[in-house]
Chain A
Amino acid sequence: MLLHDTALVYGRYLRQSLRSRFGLLFGVLMPLLYLVFFGPLLTGLPLGGRGSSWQLLVPGLLLQLALFGASFAGFSVIVENGQGVIERMRVTPVSRLALLLGRVLRDATLFVFQAVLLVLAAVVMGLRAPLPGVLVGFAFVAVLTVALASLSYALAMKVRTPQEFGPTINALTMPSMLLSGLMLPMTLGPAWLDVLSRLMPLRHLVDAVRDAYTGAYATAHMLYGSLVAVAFAALAVTVGTRVFRTAGA
């Protein structure tokens, strides 16, 4: 039943995404701008990584795509709450978990698709990375999306208005981006900043994907990155399901 319901909810929202061609591509725009206008600045700089500057930047941009895209996913739930669509679904026997999972899997599909576009553009710009590493990168995009979108939907069910939702998400995503070293590796900075950034879960995902892009898979970064990603996603889905189950207060 969970599978049936999840597939149903997934299909509904995937069709919704496909109807909006603009929305389908728009998420790629910001990372694409970084790629084109910021990427070339890094080419000659000593960044301390093993590969080229592209192997360092593109993993950051991929996770940035997921960070900003998935964190704002909850906006759709605010709109649907206003229309009564969520309540209408919650009075049917549909699994509460499926109402969440169908949506976050749609988001994962969408952002992996955008990630593919971004990597193709990066290849044109000069990125060279091993295929398994690139695939690992997409997997991290998917898991991070599942985690952040779950939390975003949970928050949207709680706050109910875009006026509360938007600023809250902004206040959370900006420090996450800066402290995780998405743009430049934190090892370039002073020790206190490096230490602080290790407290940011996203930092470990970025390190893992950067390793993958240089073809290094059996590393401590990869282990921590995977553990953090999976644990974060499990926690986020649990929180999200709880909110979807008891929502309405």
Chain B
Amino acid sequence: MAIISTAGLARTFETKRGPVQAVRGIDLTVREGEILGFLGPNGAGKTTTLRMLTTLLAPTGGAATVAGHDLARDPAGVRRACGYVAQSGGVDGQITVREELVTQGRLYRLPRARAAERAEELARDLDLTGLLDRRCAALSGGQRRRLDIAMALTHRPKLLFLDEPTTGLDPGSRAGLWDLVRRLRDEHGTTVFLTTHYLDEADALSDRLVVVDRGVVVADGTPSALKREHGGSADASLQDTFLAITGRGTAPADPTPVAV
């Protein structure tokens, strides 16, 4: 069962120096209940794709169905079914954790009392209970990330988008976040679509990887299949596999001269 399917999803930005094709045409299928690692070099179009799939940015080409709703025709349906954690998070540092969680519940149209209960539940689930009355600015990086995720889980979405969720976290917080992502999928069947630059994270967490480069999908498969196909053997590191796929760095037979 596909929870996301896209066909030729594209986004061109008009700039003063002419059009820039950030995403040229993404064809992608994500199955329900899988953890999908969405990889690619900086500027490959990962965040732009994510912002289109979460209705933040209107595509300039192609089509997509997200959680059973057509992206162009029913963005409201997509919003009800998805949670999204941006790279920058999205909480106001001057507000308490509780107020942010309750407001988020209210934005998802929970009645006042239910929103207050939900804030407590989320705090319990994400180990934020002792922090509810603290200002968001007073949280550590790992606590802040858990809060961002709690915010995105307010309405129990079937599908969760995480944009570089562990960037800047210490190893302990990263491990905790991996456990959380696995737990979400195992206990609630949540589909998780995450971007990352940490290949160990992609390797450890993802059921399947999709690699994008220059705005198109250039590889798609389980980590071991990609290693066999592009890295030379199942024992290849994902790092070498990634470099081989995207044709950058140490990859053999790179025909493109390096522009300095």
Contacts and interface: CB of A to CB of B under 8 A. Distances in A.
Interface of A: 1, 4-5, 8, 12, 15-16, 19, 80, 82-85, 87-94, 246, 248-249
B214 interface: no
Nearest to A92: B107
Given A84-B90, A248-B57, A92 B104 contact: yes
Contact of B92 (A80, A91, A94): A80
B80 A83 contact: no
A91 B91 contact: no
Interface in B72-102: 76, 79-80, 82-84, 86-95, 99
Nearest to B92: A85
B78 to A, nearest CB: 9
Contact of B107 (A19, A80, A82, A94): A94
B92 A90 contact: no
Interface residues of B, number: 31
Given A87-B56, A248-B56, A93 B88 contact: no
B109 A93 contact: yes
B108 A93 contact: yes
Given A83-B93, A249-B13, A249-B57, A93 B86 contact: no
Most buried by B among A5, A19, A84: A84
A134 B109 CA distance: 39
Contacts of A88: 84, 86, 89-91, 104, 151
Given A93-B76, A246-B58, 14 more contacts: A1-B109, A82-B88, A83-B91, A84-B89, A85-B92, A87-B51, A87-B90, A88-B89, A91-B79, A91-B84, A93-B107, A93-B108, A248-B51, A249-B13
B103 A85 contact: no
B88 A89 contact: no
B54 interface: yes
Interface in B108-163: 108-109, 151
A92 B92 contact: no
A83 B147 CA distance: 14
B106 interface: yes
A92 B56 CA distance: 10
B57 A85 contact: no
23 contacts: A5-B107, A8-B106, A8-B107, A15-B99, A16-B92, A83-B90, A84-B86, A84-B87, A84-B90, A85-B90, A88-B84, A88-B90, A88-B104, A88-B151, A91-B54, A91-B55, A91-B82, A91-B83, A93-B79, A94-B107, A248-B51, A248-B57, A249-B57
A98 to B, nearest CB: 9
A80 B104 CA distance: 15
Nearest to A8: B106
| 9 closest cross-chain pairs (CB), A and B | A88-B90, A84-B90, A84-B88, A92-B107, A248-B57, A91-B84, A94-B107, A84-B86, A248-B56
A83 B89 contact: yes
Contacts of A92: 79, 104, 107-108
Nearest to B79: A93
Nearest to A93: B79
A87 B86 contact: yes
B76 A83 contact: no
Contacts of B86: 84, 87-88
Nearest to A91: B84
Contact of A90 (B56, B94, B103): B56
A246 B91 CA distance: 22
A173 B55 CA distance: 35
Nearest to B88: A84
B107 A89 contact: yes
B163 to A, nearest CB: 10
Nearest to B56: A248
A12 B5 CA distance: 36
A167 to B, nearest CB: 19
A235 B128 CA distance: 44
A8 B91 CA distance: 16
A12 B103 contact: yes
Contacts of A82: 88
B82 to A, nearest CB: 7
